[in-house]
């Protein structure tokens, strides 16, 4: 017979239950520990992520603030530059203007209207030709067309402009092409100035360098330069040339008796009469010094032509010169040298004409003495 099952005591049951509970609690504690550890790791990772994101956001914000500051600084500098440029344009001695492709004014700086005297509305929308001297229009048009065709800056255009008061002034312009956003030429930007005073100064310097201040005739340097030019032309064209050396008679007496002021007036009258006796546009007269004059006669084919000029000169000087109710008689001695018969260079021609003049003064024969080169080779 089998034995009946032995029943556990209450103590054993409680012990088993307690052990099971402790095992379950241990397992749950371990699971909770692992969960907490994982949660801590996640928290650490999240904190690191948040810190990284925060750092990046902070850097991005700083960069944005820096960019905004840079943009504001750039805008401020741009505005300052524009203001400086505007001030420069409005206050500079030079004036600025723009023309469209049709040559019509589209912009005029205040300085331009200030210099010319026009109101802005007088010229805006007008073609540049309305203020350009007629004789200068061709050069101005060629300058403009060349610039917008070649797209190359141009400089040094000089032309005359009519100011609002009706006067004509010399102006100088440098220019560059204007292009649109597509880099297509749209017109011209010009920078100009009034150079009237500079032209006057240049004219004064030219007059001082080339003309006798008393008589207005060419001075010694200018008449010799003219002789060199005419001699070179005569050589290239195989033509003749006459040089006259003229000295006044009785001039020293007039100076000594009536004074240098009267003598100066006599020289001025003589200069006028000499100019009336020679051929316009071809012959040239210069005052060498004192009462000595040099006359250049280009393209003299025959000696008789030079003789006719000498005759007209002596006839022009024959009438008395009236100064302060005094009637003064002034004669002249004239020597003539011919290229190529007498000499082939400037110095020799002038020297031979001078020699012939002194022979005429000594002989007092005829209207003049010609330097006869062959007869002197004895």
Q: Which is the catalytic residue, given 136, 194, 291, 342?
A: 291
The token pair at 216 is 């207005």
How far separated are the first and last CA of the chain, in Å rounded?
A: 193
Helix (H, G, I), strand (E, B) or coil at 165: coil
Closest CA to 349 of 275, 276, 292, 297: 297
Distance of alpha carbon 367 from alpha carbon 335, whole angstroms: 9
DSSP state of 326: E
The token pair at 50 is 């948040």
Question: Could you give the angle at which helices 260-277 and 303-317 cross, rounded to 10 degrees?
Answer: 140
Q: What helix, strand, coil percent values describe the chain, rounded to 5?
A: 55, 20, 20
Distance of alpha carbon 83 from alpha carbon 87, whole angstroms: 6
- Beta strands 369-370 and 331-339: pairing type? parallel
Catalytic, 291? Answer yes
**CA–CA–CA angle 316, 322, 323 (5° rounding):** 130
The token pair at 359 is 């022979």
Distance of alpha carbon 357 from alpha carbon 172, whole angstroms: 49
Closest CA to 187 of 300, 107, 87, 85: 107
Distance of alpha carbon 118 from alpha carbon 276, whole angstroms: 45
Burial 214-233 (b: 16+ CB within 10 A, else e): ebebbbeebbbbbbeebbee
The token pair at 180 is 């649109």
Cα atoms in the Cβ-side hemisphere of radius 13 Å centred on 187: 15
What are the distances in angstroms from CA 286 to CA 301, 351, 368? 22, 16, 18
Helix (H, G, I), strand (E, B) or coil at 169: strand
Q: Active-site positions?
A: 291
């Amino acid at each position: 017979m089998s034995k009946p099952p032995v029943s556990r005591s209450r103590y054993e049951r409680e012990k088993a239950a307690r052990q099971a509970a402790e095992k379950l609690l241990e397992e749950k504690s371990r699971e909770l520990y692992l969960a907490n550890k994982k949660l801590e790791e996640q928290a650490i990772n999240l904190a690191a992520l948040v810190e990284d994101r925060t750092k990046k956001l902070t850097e991005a914000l700083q960069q944005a603030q820096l960019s905004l500051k840079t943009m504001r600084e750039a805008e401020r500098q741009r505005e300052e530059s524009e203001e400086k440029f505007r001030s420069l344009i409005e206050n500079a001695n030079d004036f600025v203007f723009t023309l469209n492709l049709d040559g019509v004014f589209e912009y005029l700086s205040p300085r331009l209207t200030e210099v010319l005297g026009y109101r802005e509305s007088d010229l805006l929308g007008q073609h540049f030709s309305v203020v350009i001297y007629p004789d200068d229009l061709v050069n101005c048009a060629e300058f403009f067309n060349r610039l917008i065709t070649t797209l190359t800056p141009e400089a040094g255009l000089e032309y005359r402009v009519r100011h609002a008061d009706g006067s004509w002034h010399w102006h100088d312009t440098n220019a560059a092409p204007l292009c649109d956003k597509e880099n297509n030429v749209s017109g011209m930007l010009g920078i100009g100035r009034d150079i009237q005073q500079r032209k006057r100064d240049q004219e004064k310097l030219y007059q001082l360098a080339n003309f006798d201040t008393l008589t207005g005739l060419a001075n010694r340097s200018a008449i010799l330069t003219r002789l060199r030019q005419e001699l070179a032309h005569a050589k290239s064209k195989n033509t003749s040339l006459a040089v006259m050396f003229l000295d006044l008679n009785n001039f020293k007496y007039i100076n000594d008796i009536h004074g240098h002021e009267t003598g100066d007036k006599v020289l001025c009258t003589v200069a006028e009469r000499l100019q009336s006796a020679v051929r316009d546009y071809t012959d040239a007269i210069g005052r060498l010094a004192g009462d000595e004059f040099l006359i250049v006669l280009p393209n003299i084919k025959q000696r008789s032509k030079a003789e006719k000029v000498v005759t007209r000169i002596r006839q022009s000087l024959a009438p008395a010169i009236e100064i302060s109710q005094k009637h003064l008689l002034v004669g002249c001695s004239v020597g003539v040298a011919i290229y190529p018969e007498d000499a082939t260079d400037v110095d020799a021609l002038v020297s031979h004409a001078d020699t012939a003049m002194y022979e005429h003064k000594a002989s007092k024969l005829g209207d003049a003495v010609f330097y006869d080169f062959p007869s002197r080779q004895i």
